[in-house]
Structure 1
Amino acid sequence: MTRITAAQAQTIITTAMATGVERGFKPLSVIVLDAGGHVVAFARADGSAPGRFGIAHGKAYGAVMLGMPGSAQMARAEAQPYFMAAMNGVYGGHVVPVPGGVLVKHDGEVIGAVGVTGDTSDNDVVAALAGLAAVDLTGEA
């Protein structure tokens, strides 16, 4: 199984944050998790709220643990709120079911997730996908 290396995680974060600056996004926080939901790396831009770790983590954690990106989780939460409430209970309240949680894939296999927060959810996705492109990994947003 391929895994996300620490070097790749740092490049994902650096690129995602640089993309945010280049596009005029609000300060971003970015986390990279491995396939087991463990933190590989995290960074919070200057000016980003201190609570952003939990949001970035929840976006990525929900994606990797449920095997669905944040956009799919949000659609599921809207269609079946009881299901996502139950899933959040299963995972100790650590799931944030909104876009910005991006599954990371290599050869079709989930190898982790990226969570980005700080701007609109759509812009968070743009930054995450830019970070993944920088390390030749595929993201499902």
Structure 2
Amino acid sequence: MIKAKQARRIVRATRKAGREMGLNPLAVVVLDAGGHPMAFEREDGASAGRFEIAAGKAFGAVMLGMAGKAQMARAEQQAYFVNAMNGLFGGRFVPVPGGILLKNAKGRVVGAVGVTGDTSDNDAAAGLAGIEAAGLTGEA
């Protein structure tokens, strides 16, 4: 289980990492294991629609139990599978890096983080830094 305080810390630390990396303005969302938003922030200058993109990255990770990089690889190899899963979930996931599984000390998935605003790989790197700062583990 992820607590609201941890979720807010992940958001703050992810944004801080993005600034230190010189990234474009980010949007960061943390979802619990059921796919419900726990925390979200969109930095000044981040484009409209960023909540939906960040949430889509995180939602796919938590619902499939598969991080964004693995989802993208699966989409490249089996587009029919990803299309079918996205159809089941009402088109709510975005299968690219930046959707990060959030794990506790025992390795159990407790939620997911979605980051968007820069390249997908940079989004994932900033998110992993934020997760680490909160004392949790991420799988990008």
TM-score after normalising by structure 1? 0.97
Match of 2:127 in 1: 128
Q: Secondary structure at 1:113's aligned position in 2?
A: strand
Distance 1:52 1:135 in 2: 23
Match of 1:17 among 15, 18, 30: 15
Matched AA of 2:36: H
User: Partners in 1 of 2:20 and 2:124 — Cα distance?
Assistant: 15
Letter in 2 for 1:81: A
Distance (whole Å) between structure 2 residues aligned to residue 125 and residue 81 of structure 1: 22
Alignment of 1:108 with 2:70, yes or no, is: no
C-alpha distance in structure 2 between counterparts of 1:4 and 1:49, whole Å: 28
Quote the offset at 1:86 in angstroms: 0.3
Percent same amino acid at aligned positions? Answer: 63
Specify the SS of the correspondent of 1:14: helix
Q: Which residue of 2 aligns with 1:58?
A: 56
Deviation, structure 1 residue 98: 0.1
Residue 22 of structure 1: CA displacement?
1.1
User: What's the secondary structure of 1:26's corresponding residue?
Assistant: coil
Separation of aligned partners in 1, 2:40 and 2:132: 18
RMSD of aligned Cα (Å): 0.5
Instruction: Specify the code of the residue in structure 2 equivalent to 1:115.
Output: G
Once residues 72 and 42 of structure 1 are traced to their aligned partners in structure 2, the CA distance between those partners, rounded to angstroms, is: 24
- Aligned counterparts of 1:97 and 1:23: Cα–Cα separation in 2: 24
1:27, CA displacement in angstroms? 0.2
Q: Following TM superposition, by how much is the alpha carbon of 1:129 offset from its aligned partner in structure 2, in angstroms?
A: 0.5
Offset of 1:34 from its aligned partner?
A: 0.2
Deviations 1:119-138 (A, max 9, x none): 00111011101111111101
Matched AA of 1:118: G
Flag structure 2 segments of 5+ consecutive residues without an equivalent. none
Q: Secondary structure at the match of 1:103?
A: strand
Q: Which residue of 2 aligns with 1:98?
A: 96
Task: Quote the Cα distance in structure 1 between the aligned partners of 2:19 and 2:128.
Answer: 15
Contiguous gaps of at least 5 residues in structure 1: none
1:108, distance to aligned residue in structure 2 (A): 1.1
**TM-score, normalised to structure 2's length?**
0.98
Kindly indicate whether residue 44 of structure 2 is the aligned counterpart of residue 67 of structure 1. Answer: no
Letter in 2 for 1:30: V
Alpha-carbon separation, structure 2, partners of 1:123 and 1:4: 24
**Cα distance in 2, alignment partners of residues 80 and 20 from structure 1:** 32
